[in-house]
């Protein structure tokens, strides 16, 4: 499906929230990173999201984040668009990083709403207003209250979108269809609603979402991308079939936290290792047995 991004808008299709592979000693596995970049691109994803939640940025230091951003941009060579994850709960620090981090080669920034602090809706608004003023790139909001502890209400999303011209969309992972509908009813035509939940992508696209930023696209890039493409084309019968085929895999992803599940699948499939950084731990033996069982069902 691809991306039209002349002004940081019209992100359509499948973005992969890319993992950060680690070696057994816990250091970044750059050959593994190349492999997952190739695997997902060749599988049909439309764009990469680097250093999103699935990339474990909470356990990466500043120097590692900078090196990953530079490495991916250099290796990608403009083949598909890049979004840099740059969120957090320290508004001043993020604003500084937006000015200082190497964002050459990136099309936009994905910024999760502040976590832990539990700001009011006014605090969330003022946070994004400050980031909007600091950012050299268009910004996509990211609402995931299951992780942040605070929901970005639809009225706050719409207020930010109205007052901050370079905020062009939101990755919505609240699971609240009333909230999705309110955003879709009142948003400007060029403001994008993007699913942040693999399992809700098809019904959200049916309502008017323009795509998905996916975890499962790390391990299943082709079927995930095809599901989203068919839904965007209005072929919901076939998109539903793809969703149901992927649904068992989707349930595995989050049984032991993200990205533990998807890294376990990738290791079983020989793409890269399953190492995560503490406080996360690699997938359990029971999780691996479930993955093997799903693979046997598919083979059968």
Which candidate, 57, 67, 60, 82, places its Cα nearest to that of 5? 82
In the chain, DSSP assigns E strands to 13-17, 47-50, 82-85, 108-112, 139-143, 167-172, 192-195, 211-214
34 is catalytic: no
Q: Which domains does the chain have, with CATH numbers?
A: 13-234 (3.20.20.70)
In this prediction, residue 10 carries a pLDDT of 59
Q: Kind of pairing, strands 139-143 and 47-50? A: unpaired
6, 166 Cβ separation under 8 angstroms: no
At what angle are helices 177-186 and 154-163 packed, to 10 degrees?
A: 30
| Distance between CA atoms of residues 170 and 155, nearest Å | 13
Tell me the β-bridge partners of 169: 140, 192
122, 114 Cβ separation under 8 angstroms: no
CB count within 10 Å of CB 90 equals: 12
Which residues are within 8 A (CB) of 135 and not within 5 positions of it... i.e. 6 or more apart?
98, 109, 166
pLDDT band at 11 (very low <50, low <70, confident <90, very high): confident
* pTM for this entry: 0.95
Q: Residues 250-278: what's their mean pLDDT?
A: 95
Per the prediction, the chain carries an average pLDDT of: 95
Q: Residues 43-56: what's their mean pLDDT?
A: 98
The single residue of 39, 106, 128, 171 carrying the catalytic annotation is 171
CA 203 from centre of chain: 18
Determine the length of the chain: 300
In this prediction, residue 3 carries a pLDDT of 35
The single residue of 47, 142, 187, 263 carrying the catalytic annotation is 142
142 is catalytic: yes
Which candidate, 108, 118, 193, places its Cα nearest to that of 158? 193
User: What confidence tens digit (pLDDT) does each residue in 200-222 have?
Assistant: 999 999 999 999 999 999 999 99
User: What confidence tens digit (pLDDT) does each residue in 103-136 have?
Assistant: 999 999 999 999 999 999 999 999 999 999 999 9
Does the pLDDT value for residue 236 go beyond 60? yes
The DSSP string of 170-184 is: EEE-S--HHHHHHHH
pLDDT band at 8 (very low <50, low <70, confident <90, very high): very low
In 173-231, DSSP assigns E strands to 192-195, 211-214
Q: Residues 128-148: what's their mean pLDDT?
A: 97
In this prediction, residue 300 carries a pLDDT of 54
Percentage of the residues of the chain whose pLDDT score is greater than 90: 94
User: What confidence tens digit (pLDDT) does each residue in 179-206 have?
Assistant: 999 999 999 999 999 999 999 999 999 9
In this prediction, residue 296 carries a pLDDT of 82
Q: Residues 236-261: what's their mean pLDDT?
A: 96
């Amino acid at each position: 499906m691809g991306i039209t991004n002349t002004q940081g808008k019209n992100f359509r299709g499948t973005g992969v929230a890319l993992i950060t592979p680690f070696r057994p000693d816990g250091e970044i596995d750059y050959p593994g990173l190349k492999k997952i970049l190739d695997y997902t691109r060749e599988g049909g994803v439309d764009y990469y999201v680097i250093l999103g939640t699935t990339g474990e940025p909470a356990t990466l230091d500043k120097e590692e984040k900078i090196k990953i951003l530079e490495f991916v941009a250099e290796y990608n060579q403009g083949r598909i668009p890049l979004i840099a994850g740059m969120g957090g709960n320290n508004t001043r620090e993020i604003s500084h990083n937006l000015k200082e981090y190497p964002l050459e080669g990136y099309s936009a920034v994905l910024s999760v709403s502040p976590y832990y602090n539990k700001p009011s809706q006014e605090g969330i608004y003022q946070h994004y207003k400050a980031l909007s003023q600091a950012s050299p790139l268009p910004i996509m909001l990211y609402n995931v209250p299951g992780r942040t502890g605070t929901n970005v209400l639809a009225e706050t999303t719409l207020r930010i979108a109205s007052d901050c011209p370079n905020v062009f969309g939101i990755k919505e992972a609240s699971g609240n269809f009333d909230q999705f509908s309110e955003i879709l009813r009142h948003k400007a035509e060029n403001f994008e609603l993007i699913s942040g939940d693999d399992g809700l992508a098809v019904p959200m696209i049916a309502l008017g979402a323009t795509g998905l930023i996916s975890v499962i696209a790390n391990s299943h890039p082709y079927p995930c991308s095809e599901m989203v493409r068919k839904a965007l084309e209005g072929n919901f019968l076939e998109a539903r079939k793809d969703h149901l085929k992927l649904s068992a895999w989707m349930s595995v992803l989050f049984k032991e936290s993200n990205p533990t599940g998807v890294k376990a699948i990738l290791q079983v499939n020989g793409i890269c290792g399953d190492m995560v950084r503490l406080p996360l731990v690699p997938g359990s033996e029971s999780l691996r047995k479930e993955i093997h069982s799903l693979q046997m069902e598919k083979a059968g």
